[in-house]
Structure 1
């Protein structure tokens, strides 16, 4: 129940908006187009972020790692300010109703009533008003990115085909066999049952119903499709050279006699492009989106007046 809301909070902590006011007793660590980030705000963001991981405490971090982490968090806070300033520039807004709908959805997905939700916020050091503020910032951020980045990302058919052919080994399908099995007391009994089937006195399904001590005897011992590589060596040996409709020679499985009926064979090989096209499109899209996002943020930073004092 908690995993999904913790994930949401992690996203929000990466997009939280600071007040812009600088306490007189506090040191400014960065100024972005005239908007300040204070040391207390940076440390609060860092504390909230690390607080999501039970096995990490600020005081346990080596000095070099703490310094590097602070620098990374500060960079993200600078990016967040730039994105919020872009939202203001384009007049992008988020209504109170949208915020309430989001909170209602989070509660429903995590099966929380209002008090449970508030208690979880308190455990994360948040008030409901602070959570609403973070939610608004997160939605604003996504809308800016959709308008300025996501809608400009295009994946062509040629790119999909090229990706498919360059990564053929990633789209291989294992050989599969549809099997039925009969398990009886011992090897000699399996020989007898096979002779009955071979002589036409009974078919495999009926033999399974009458004699099998294995799975699904009332359904002819049907195992469905099984990946070839996941079969035990003695099963693969018994099936070697068989075609659809064939019945194996008797063999021993954990002391029991066994017979296999090959219903269907699906040869391994490359999965058709049509079956993995959507997966490839998403992978290419996500890679392009990350690249465009970095380019967009870098452009904002180059045009901005940023004074980092950490």
Structure 2
């Protein structure tokens, strides 16, 4: 049965805690009066530390672990600020919305409720904790929609101008898949990326040999791209790509990564009319505006907040 969640062995968490035993009862940060303890921080950071194959008691890994902790702390601070802003905006997530998300997860993995709960138990993931995580993600998406997406406007004139300049490269994106390559921290990512670019190393081979993502046995295939579900960052990354293109190296959850866009089985690339291309162009033009708005919103939250980082 396919695992639903990445569960890091309890021994690793204990090792991380032991490595910071003198600090474990200390406060990592206080955000508008809400405390983030070192225990809270390390619990969330452990999966990233494990995926990076970092050893808590190894001196040469100390700096890398510190970077993971700080990036995780920054993410936790933003989560708290978004939740607090949701209260100001009177935005909430209904229990039924969480139920629907869990149902989708079960359907995606062809699991019955009993099988799903059995897998949760194997992964040491309490249902209440899963529901809380889903609620937080849904709330973040809702707030991003209100404060970012809905405040970004792309005019029809901008779309027409873009089409005239790029109509020879606007094609049908149905059934395009995304393949992901996540490099281990000690890999020479730059050199490998250069080999992929010049054709001396195929993307699929690089995935099989080096990727630390869970889908390496499938050549990194993450399945069909759900264009209407992409966040601004991924929209910007994928909408300008053609089948067969590979991105430059970017950072994904503290790891260097690359993505390949492809259509299984190949096929003809069909160019689009202005009407057909409008949704695609809208996404392309919207992305940089959305990222700019996201940065503004994040800065607004931080500027209004009282944040005391003690890490």
TM-score by length of 1: 0.55
The structural deviation recorded for 1:169 is: 5.6
Aligned to 2:274: 273
Gaps of 5+ in 1: 8-23, 174-267
The structural deviation recorded for 1:77 is: 0.5
Aligned to 1:153: 152
Distance 1:160 1:28, change over 3 A: same
Aligned to 2:39: 40
Distance 1:280 1:2, change over 3 A: farther
SS in 2 for 1:30: strand
Which range moved further: 140-149 or 72-81? Answer: 140-149
SS in 1 for 2:289: helix
Which range moved further: 269-278 or 83-92? Answer: 269-278
| Matched ranges for 1:79-158 at <5 A | 79-158=78-157
Q: Distance in 2 between matches of 1:283 and 1:124?
A: 39
Larger Rg: 1
Distance 1:158 1:65, change over 3 A: farther
| 1:134-170 alpha-carbon deviations (Å, 9 max, x no partner) | 1111122222222222211111112223333444563
Aligned to 1:170: 169
Aligned to 2:64: 65
Q: Distance in 1 between matches of 2:154 and 2:105?
A: 32
The structural deviation recorded for 1:279 is: 1.1
Q: Distance in 1 between matches of 2:102 and 2:126?
A: 13
Aligned to 1:27: 26
Q: Distance in 1 between matches of 2:98 and 2:128?
A: 11
Task: Indicate the RMSD between aligned Cα atoms, in angstroms.
Answer: 3.0
| 1:86-133 alpha-carbon deviations (Å, 9 max, x no partner) | 112222222222222221222122211223222433454421110011
Distance 1:43 1:79, change over 3 A: same
